[in-house]
A and B are shown apart, each in its own frame.
Chain A
Amino acid sequence: AQTVTQSQPEMSVQEAETVTLSCTYDTSESDYYLFWYKQPPSRQMILVIRQEAYKQQNATENRFSVNFQKAAKSFSLKISDSQLGDAAMYFCAYRSALGNTPLVFGKGTRLSVIA
């Protein structure tokens, strides 16, 4: 079974600075998708960014970018120019491209943004 590990339970960043959240995963598959989700306090989970494993180019969405290292099974999220609204729980998730397997989530990283 696939597993997702987020080794940083909590992180903090100064407003306008850059922060990187780590994620590693374990799989024997070669075709899959990776996601980062954001869950603000008492609010619903929203998709931040996604990466297709067969693409070497790292995904970017405005201030959010990933560093996808397939051989190392690593998928980190970089947030540039951090804003107060970025404070939230961030979850890394894995989904196989085969069959109907559901998303597998890590335990999350709580990000605090300091003004």
Chain B
Amino acid sequence: DTGVSQNPRHKITKRGQNVTFRCDPISEHNRLYWYRQTLGQGPEFLTYFQNEAQLEKSRLLSDRFSAERPKGSFSTLEIQRTEQGDSAMYLCASSPTWTGVGYTFGSGTRLTVV
């Protein structure tokens, strides 16, 4: 297993367009997390899945954001009608169920909305 994979690495989009990011977690990990990181800040939690079930969503996740994890494997994060404030690094991480371990992070998708 090569770790957590995120695609694309970079995305530039025009304001108002829809974008979708993909995350492939470590295959043995049943938990998958999405975070957003803006410049100079720590990662902020967006949402997470245990297998295919979305168990928690942050207040940061407006109705323009939607995430899925069909069949408990890869996950997608879609942002509709992008705004300049959506410009950020979107990080995906996975972990096993046990809360004592840390997460394994992907390299992130950097979104720039122009």
Interface 1/0s, chain A 101-112, versus B by CB < 8 A? 111111110000
A100 & B105 in contact (Cβ 8 Å cutoff): no
Contact for A103 among B41, B56, B103, B107, CB less than 8 A: B103
B102 & A37 in contact (Cβ 8 Å cutoff): yes
Q: A33-B99, A44-B105, A95-B99 are in contact. Are A102 and B33 (CB under 8 A)?
A: yes
Smallest beta-carbon distance B43→chain A, Å: 5
Smallest beta-carbon distance A75→chain B, Å: 14
Smallest beta-carbon distance A46→chain B, Å: 7
Q: How many residues of A contact B (CB 8 A)?
A: 28
> What separation, in Å, do the CA atoms of A105 and B35 have in the docked complex?
10
Is A96 an interface residue, CB under 8 A from the partner? Answer: yes
Q: How many residues of B contact A (CB 8 A)?
A: 23
**B residues in contact with A102, CB < 8 Å:** 33, 45, 48, 56
A97 & B102 in contact (Cβ 8 Å cutoff): no
Contact for A91 among B42, B100, B108, CB less than 8 A: B42
**A residues in contact with B103, CB < 8 Å:** 47, 103
Q: A44-B105, A44-B106 are in contact. Are A96 and B42 (CB under 8 A)?
A: no
Contact for B41 among A4, A46, A93, A107, CB less than 8 A: A107
Q: A45-B91, A91-B42, A108-B41 are in contact. Are A100 and B102 (CB under 8 A)?
A: no
Is B50 an interface residue, CB under 8 A from the partner? Answer: yes
Is A68 an interface residue, CB under 8 A from the partner? Answer: no
- Residue of A at shortest CB range from B105? A45
Contact for A104 among B41, B45, B55, B104, CB less than 8 A: B45
**A residues in contact with B48, CB < 8 Å:** 100, 102
**A residues in contact with B91, CB < 8 Å:** 45
Q: A43-B107, A108-B41 are in contact. Are A96 and B102 (CB under 8 A)?
A: no
Contact surface of A with B, Cβ cutoff 8 Å:
4, 6, 9, 33, 35, 37, 43-47, 50, 52, 91, 93, 95-98, 100-108
Q: What are some 12 contacts across the A-B interface (CB < 8 A)?
A: A4-B42, A44-B105, A45-B91, A47-B102, A47-B103, A50-B100, A91-B42, A101-B56, A103-B45, A105-B35, A106-B42, A107-B41
